Structure 1
Amino acid sequence: MGENKRAVLFAARSQNALHRLLDTLPVFAGDDRVHRCFTLVPGSEFSADALRALERAGGRVLPWAEAVGRTFALILAASPKGDLQALHGPRVLLPHGAGFNKSVPGEGTEDSASGLDPAHLLLPDGTPLATRCLLSHPGQIARLAPAGPAVTARATVVGDPLLERFLESQDHRDRYRAALGTGARTLVVLFSTWGPESLIGRRPGLPAELAAALPHDEYQLALVLHPNERARRGTLDLDEYLEPARRAGLVLPAAHEEWASVAVAADVLITDHGSAALYPAALDRPLLGAYDGGRELLPGTPMAGLLAHVPRLAPDLPGAQAASLVAAALRDHRPGSSRALTEPAFAEQGQALDRLRETVYDLLDLAPPAHPVLPRLLPDPAPAPLAPAAFAVRVEDDGGVLRVLRHPAHLVPPAPAHHVAAEVGTAHRRFTRGAGLLHRRAGGHPGAPTEPADEWTLRILADHPGGRRSAAVVVSATHCLLRPRSGPLLSLRITPHGAERRAPVVDPVPVLSAVHAALLDGEAVTRLRLVCAVGTYAVEVRTARATAAEAATAV
C-alpha cells in the first residue's frame, strides 16, 4: 500500500454493529487514500449472521487471525465487547444504537448501559480501550464517569449517522409507502428489540392479534425486528411463528436499511424499550409504549423518558381494544410532542457526518475531501405480501353509506361477519366452501384455460351448491361482473363519490361485498345504485344487466 494510503478497519461483532458501521461510509466516499476492509470480532452468539451480513456488504473481509497481525491507521467499532484490544491502531467506538438505554443482565457491570460499561471500556491495566468514544448527545458524557476521567476525556459528540439518513430520507416517505402498497391506509409499525423483555418475547401473539383486529382496508401492519432476534430464532422458525400475521399482510422488512424505510413510511409506532423507535419518533411519529417493565431499561435514559410520556398498550389487552388505542394515538397526537421526547438522544442533527468526518480524518492525519459529505438515502422497501385471498366481511349501513370492514378470514375477526369473500383458485378450500362471495380477477391466472364470464359464474355457483351466494369477476378497477345465485349476470360500474371525484380508485373486491350484501337484503337486482365506503374513500356503484359483450368477457 502506498505511503499516502490509510488502511481503515471496520470491526463488527454482530450484524447490528455492522449496520451502524456501514452508516459511516459516506465520510470516506470518493477518497482513494482510504483503504476499507472489514473483520468479524469473535465471541458473539450472533457472529454467524454477522459474517453473512459482512459478505452481503461486499467489502473485503480479513480473517480475525490476519487482522490482529496487522496495524491499521484507524479501527472503527460499534461495540466495545470482544477482544478489540488485540487489534493494532487507533480505536474509535461508535454507539450501536440510540441513547444507551439498555443493560444486558449477566454481561459486565450490573445496571451499566450496554456500550458504556467500564468493564468493556477499560483494558486490564486500567487504560482506555478506545482513542475516541463517539457519542450522539452531550448528556452521554456524564454517563461515562464510572469509567474514569481518562475515558471521559476521550469522548467526542458527533451526533448519530443513522439519524442523518432518516432526516435526509423523510421527503421520500410517499415513495416508500407506494413501494409498500400502503395507499391511504394507516401504517402501524411494531418495534421489537431482542431478549426476554422484548415485545415479541412477552407478547408473541400481538402481531397476529392486531392483524386480526385492524380492518384491512384501513390499516397496514409491519414488524421491525432486531437482528439479534432474527439470528436467535433462525429464518425457518421466524417464518413459521409469523406465518398467520404474514398471510394477513404483515410487512417484515429486512434488518439492514429496509426497516428504516418502513419506519419513515409509518403513521404510528408501537414499541418496547429498544432504541430503534427513537429514529421515527425524531420525525414526530405518534407512539404507543408496549414495555411491561423489567431489569433491562435504565432509568433516566431517552427511551425511559419517551415511554413515560406516551400512551401505554397494556399487556393482555384484547386486539380490538388495542386497535382502538392505535386510532386514539393518531387522533390525540400533538405535533412536535414525539420529536421533543427524542432530544436527549440526538445532537448535531443535520451535521453528524460532518462532525464524524472531522474526527476520523484528524486521527488519520489527512485533510478531508473537499466535497461535502452526504447521508445515503434509504432504499425503497420490498413490496408487502399479497392481500389475503379470503376475508371475513362485515357490511354496516352508516347513514345510507355501506361501510365495508374486511378482516383476514384465517384469523378470528373482532365481530361476527356478514359473509366470507374468497378468491377462487387462490383461497383455501375451507374458505371457498363456505364463502358467500366467490370471485376472481380476469386474466389473474395466466396460462390457464379461459371461458366467458357468463359461463364461469354459472359453473362456480353450480360447483358450490347451497346458500345465498354470488360469483363475481373483477374486470378492472372500475368494472366488475356479478351473478347472484337467483339472478342474472350484472354489470357493476364503480366511480368515486361526491367530492372525491379525483380520489384514487379503490380495490373493487370490497365493493363486490357491498353489492352482495345489498342483494341479500332484498335490494332490486338489476337497477341498483349505492354508495360504498372502503377505508377512507367512498365510491358509487351502479348495476345493470350485463350486455352480451360483457357476458363474453374472458375469465
Structure 2
Amino acid sequence: MDTWATGDGRRATGDGRQATRRSVLFAARSAVALHRLLDVLPVFEGDDRVERYFTLVPGSEFGVGALAAVGRAGGRTIPWDEARGRAFDLVVAASPKGELSELHGPLVLLPHGAGYGKTLPGEGSGGAPSGLDRAYLTSRGRPVAALHALAHPSQVDRLAVESRAAATVTTVTGDPTLERILESAVLRPKFRAALGTGGRRLVVITSTWGPESLLRRRPSLPAELLAGLPYDAYQLALVAHPNEHSERGALQFREPLRPALDAGLVLAEPHEEWASVLVAADVVISDHGSTALYAAALDRPVIAAYDGGRELIPGSPTAELLAGSPRFAGPDSVGAALAGHRPGAARARTGLAFAHQHEALARLRASVYPLLGLDPPAWPAVPRLLPVPARPAGGPGAFAVRTRISGTEVRVERFPDRVGPDGHFLAAESGSAGRRHEETAGLLYRRSPGEPAPHAEGRSAERWLLDTLADHPACQTAGIILSPELCLLASRSGPPLAARIEQSRQDGTAYLPDPAAVLCGLHAWRPAPPPEFTCVTGGRANRVRLAPATPAELARTVWAGP
C-alpha cells in the first residue's frame, strides 16, 4: 500500500484512511541511562503507531557502553547530527545532562537511579542531587522538560528546593526499574539454580562509580571475602556500576579482579543481569550507590560499606538506609547480618524512595500518551521479566581445606587456593586445576562427565584411581565423583572404597553437598575412616556410609571429557 507524508506528522494511506504515526527518540549519554530507557519500552509495547529511535548524546566519557547496549537490544540508532536536525513527537531521556536542548520535541525525563542520594563535587550547582540539579533542569529560568517523571513525592519536594520552575512539570509515576525487579522476584529459585548457588548464601557486593566507590577504595575486597567465607557456605557476586565497565573497558576492569574471578567470583553484566543477581541475593554489601535501595526493596539485608566523603547527601533515602544498616567490619559481618535480619525491616527503610509500586509503567503510559496526541493501547503495560543470569564459567580448581574431626563427625571448610588462607591440605580437581596444583595436592579427584565426547577414550574407575596415585607422588587420596550421591576413592593403603552420601532434610528442603567436600572429609580421616560418619559442610550435616567398592563400580568407565 502506498503512503505519503501529510505534513502534520501523520501518514496517509492510498485508500484515503489516515494512519497515525508518532516518532519517539530515546536519547542516552551513558550505558546506565540507556538501560533505564530500555526498562520503559513496555510503555509503547505492541503499538505500531510509535516509531522508536535511539541516539547517543555526546559529551560523556561513558558513552561507548551506551552504543554497545543499544546494539545488543537491536535498537535503531541514528547519529547525533541527524537526531538534532529532525523533529520528534517525543524525546525520552534518563539524564538531563548533555545538549538535550538541541533536540526538537517535548522532552520526558525519567529516573536515572533510585533515591537521588548522590552529589558530584565540582559538577553543576554543587551539593545538588545528581539528576535533580537546577543547572541541568532549567534554561533561562524555564524547565527544559515537558514532563519529569519521579519515583516518590519527596523527590518533587526536593526538586522544588532546587527549582520551583522545574518542579512544576513533575509527575510521580514510581520507578520502572524497581517494577521490573519486583515482577521478576518470583524467578529467584530459577536465578539461583542458574548461578549454581545451591544451598549456599549468595553475598552480593554492589559498588557505584567514582573515587568514593567501594571498588576504588577497597579493590581487594572481593578476594578478601572469598578468603574469609567458606566456599560451601557462601557464594560471592559483584554488581559494579556500568560507568566502571565503560570507563576502564572490559579488560582493564576485569584484570584487577582476576584472582577473585578465578576463585569463583560471579561478575554480573551491567545491563539486566545485575538485577537478576540482586533478586538471587541473600545479603548485600553496598557503598552509597542506589543499588542498595533496590536490594532493600527486595527485603535483602544490607551491610553498609561506605567510608564517608562528599558524595552522599545527608538525609537522602540512601543515607537513611545505610545509617540504619549494620556496618561492614570484615567477613564475620555477613553471618551477623543474616542472623540479625528481621523480615520487612530492610524494605521499611525504602519508604521515601519508591511510591506506586507495581504501577510505574501504567502511570508513565498515562502521562506520555497525551504528549503524543494518542490514546494509549488497550492492553496493560507489563514489565519484561529479567533474564536468567549466565552460569559462571568454571570455578576454583583447587582448594585449601580445613577439617576438624570430633567423634564420628568431620567438619570441612574449603577456600579457593587462589586467594584462600593456609589449610590442612590441598585438594585439586583433575582437569580443572593446573600442573602446579595437581603435583602438590594431597587429594586429587575428578568428576565423571555424563556423556562421552565423540571418539572418546576412557578407563575403568579402578584404573584411573590407581594410575592417579602412581603418577602423583604427593597424592595420598584419589577420588572419582560418579553422581551427587556416590563417590569412589582409593588411598595408598587398603582397597578402594565407595562412599554413599545421604540427603539431609530441613523444613521440607532436601540438601546434598558437593561430593568433593565429602572426599575432603574422607581424606582427613586417612588411613582408616569409619564405616559411617557425618560430614558437615556449609553448616549442614549429611550422613556418609562407606563400603568396599564393588567390582561393578570399579569397572565403570571413566571417560576423558571437558
| Category of TM-score, reference length = shorter chain | over 0.9
Residues 332 and 487 of structure 1, relative CA distance in 2, 3 Å threshold? same
- Cα offset for 1:455? 2.1
2:532 aligns to what?
Answer: 529
Normalized per residue, the structure richer in strand is 2
SS in 2 for 1:27: helix
- Distance across 2 between alignment mates of 1:92 and 1:71: 15
Any conservation in 1 of the 2:429–2:445 contact (CA below 8 Å)?
yes
- Cα offset for 1:178? 1.1
Q: Is it true that 1:122 corresponds to 2:135 in the alignment?
A: no
- Distance across 2 between alignment mates of 1:128 and 1:375: 30
2:52 aligns to what?
Answer: 36
- Distance across 2 between alignment mates of 1:107 and 1:470: 62
1:474 aligns to what?
Answer: 481
1:418 aligns to what?
Answer: 424
Aligned-partner residue type, residue 430 of structure 2 = V
Per-residue CA deviations over 1:452-473 (Å, capped at 9, x if unaligned) read: 2222222211222257x11111
- Cα offset for 1:426? 2.1
Q: Which segment is superposed worse, 181-190 or 147-156?
A: 147-156
SS in 1 for 2:511: coil
Any conservation in 1 of the 2:207–2:214 contact (CA below 8 Å)?
yes
Aligned-partner residue type, residue 52 of structure 2 = R
2:14 aligns to what?
Answer: none
2:519 aligns to what?
Answer: 512
1:461 aligns to what?
Answer: 469
Residues 24 and 473 of structure 1, relative CA distance in 2, 3 Å threshold? same
Aligned-partner residue type, residue 441 of structure 1 = R
Q: Which segment is superposed worse, 543-552 or 436-445?
A: 436-445
- Distance across 1 between alignment mates of 2:278 and 2:46: 29
Match of 1:483 among 475, 487, 490: 490
Per-residue CA deviations over 1:3-50 (Å, capped at 9, x if unaligned) read: 411111110010000010111111111111111111110000011221
Aligned-partner residue type, residue 539 of structure 1 = N
- Distance across 2 between alignment mates of 1:552 and 1:529: 24
2:99 aligns to what?
Answer: 83
Residues 491 and 77 of structure 1, relative CA distance in 2, 3 Å threshold? same
Q: Is it true that 1:407 corresponds to 2:411 in the alignment?
A: no
- Distance across 1 between alignment mates of 2:377 and 2:506: 54
2:36 aligns to what?
Answer: 20
CA RMSD in angstroms comes to 1.8
- Distance across 2 between alignment mates of 1:451 and 1:378: 44
- Cα offset for 1:114? 0.9
Q: How does 1:146-185 map to 2 (within 5 A)?
A: 146-185=161-200
Q: How does 1:41-52 map to 2 (within 5 A)?
A: 41-52=57-68
Any conservation in 2 of the 1:38–1:62 contact (CA below 8 Å)?
yes
Q: Which segment is superposed worse, 279-288 or 453-462?
A: 453-462
Any conservation in 1 of the 2:232–2:413 contact (CA below 8 Å)?
yes
- Distance across 1 between alignment mates of 2:474 and 2:362: 71
- Distance across 2 between alignment mates of 1:500 and 1:511: 23
Any conservation in 1 of the 2:440–2:474 contact (CA below 8 Å)?
no
Q: Is it true that 1:218 corresponds to 2:217 in the alignment?
A: no
- Distance across 1 between alignment mates of 2:360 and 2:507: 44
SS in 2 for 1:207: helix
- Distance across 2 between alignment mates of 1:464 and 1:368: 71
Any conservation in 1 of the 2:116–2:129 contact (CA below 8 Å)?
yes
- Distance across 1 between alignment mates of 2:54 and 2:428: 51
2:510 aligns to what?
Answer: 503
Per-residue CA deviations over 1:381-408 (Å, capped at 9, x if unaligned) read: 1112323111111122356421211110
SS in 1 for 2:266: coil
Any conservation in 1 of the 2:226–2:420 contact (CA below 8 Å)?
no
Residues 466 and 34 of structure 1, relative CA distance in 2, 3 Å threshold? closer
Q: Which segment is superposed worse, 484-493 or 458-467?
A: 458-467
Q: Which segment is superposed worse, 449-458 or 113-122?
A: 449-458
- Cα offset for 1:498? 7.6
Match of 1:96 among 102, 112, 115: 112
2:268 aligns to what?
Answer: 253
TM-score normalized by structure 1?
Answer: 0.94
- Cα offset for 1:535? 2.0
Aligned-partner residue type, residue 309 of structure 1 = G
1:319 aligns to what?
Answer: none
- Distance across 1 between alignment mates of 2:192 and 2:324: 28
SS in 2 for 1:270: strand
**What are structure 2's unaligned runs of at least 5 residues?**
12-19
Q: Is it true that 1:358 corresponds to 2:373 in the alignment?
A: no
- Distance across 2 between alignment mates of 1:335 and 1:465: 53
Any conservation in 1 of the 2:205–2:239 contact (CA below 8 Å)?
yes
- Distance across 2 between alignment mates of 1:439 and 1:218: 21
- Distance across 1 between alignment mates of 2:111 and 2:261: 32
Per-residue CA deviations over 1:105-154 (Å, capped at 9, x if unaligned) read: 2211111111111111112x222111111111101112223443221111
- Cα offset for 1:262? 0.6
Aligned-partner residue type, residue 449 of structure 1 = E
SS in 2 for 1:451: strand
Match of 1:550 among 529, 553, 559: 553
Any conservation in 2 of the 1:500–1:537 contact (CA below 8 Å)?
no
Per-residue CA deviations over 1:278-317 (Å, capped at 9, x if unaligned) read: 1121011101000000011111111011111101114xxx
Any conservation in 1 of the 2:31–2:63 contact (CA below 8 Å)?
yes
